[in-house]
Amino acid sequence: MESSPIVIEERLRSGRLVALLLSVCVATVFVPRRRRRFPASRAKTALSVLVVAVVAVLASRIVARVVQTSDGRRFEVVYGPGGMIRQSFDATDIEHAQATSLTLLRTGGWGYRGSLALLRRAAVVTRSGDALRLDLSRGRRFAITVDDPTSFAEALNS
């Protein structure tokens, strides 16, 4: 399989998000519990810590990139070490790309927000500030916080 040349690539700044998630794990394990009405079992606590830790690992390695293919340019978001999860938008799906600004308040906080399938809008938010907005086919919209959204938009619109 031949590899596609990468036009532009950026690892998202997600340090604060990862620190928050890991501190939740530490607090869950080490902070003494007071008497509760409905005590959680050890298995539920362990499962919760495991889920939060996996999300922290995935969030620590988010990469956005534009890849040149034989059909045009494609935008990819790669999550986790080794690209465990990929989200890809082909050139035929992208109607327009532009730079915008996102706030945590407007998007609902850190993380992956929304659903392209159900809500027709989604965003990957690792911080407030500059973001790339993709207007996709079928009235869908995707946004992701990146340091230089103008370069991504130019690469995708050309």
pLDDT for res 127: 87
Task: Report CA torsion sign: 102, 103, 106, 110.
Answer: positive
CA dihedral 141, 68, 124, 102 (to 10 degrees): -70
**Residue corresponding to tokens 């928050």:** 20
**Separation of alpha carbons 93 and 133, rounded Å:** 13
Sequential DSSP letters for 27-42: HHHHSPPPP-SSPPPH
> CA 42, CA 156: separation in Å to the nearest integer?
49
Question: In total, how many domains does the chain have?
Answer: 1
The boundaries of the domain holding residue 131 are: 1-158
| Per-residue pLDDT tens digits of the chain, which is 158 residues long | 445 687 788 888 777 777 877 787 777 766 666 655 555 666 777 777 788 777 777 777 788 888 887 778 899 998 887 777 889 999 899 999 999 999 988 888 888 899 999 999 999 998 899 999 999 999 999 999 999 999 999 999 98
pTM: 0.76
What is the predicted pLDDT for the residue at 1?
42
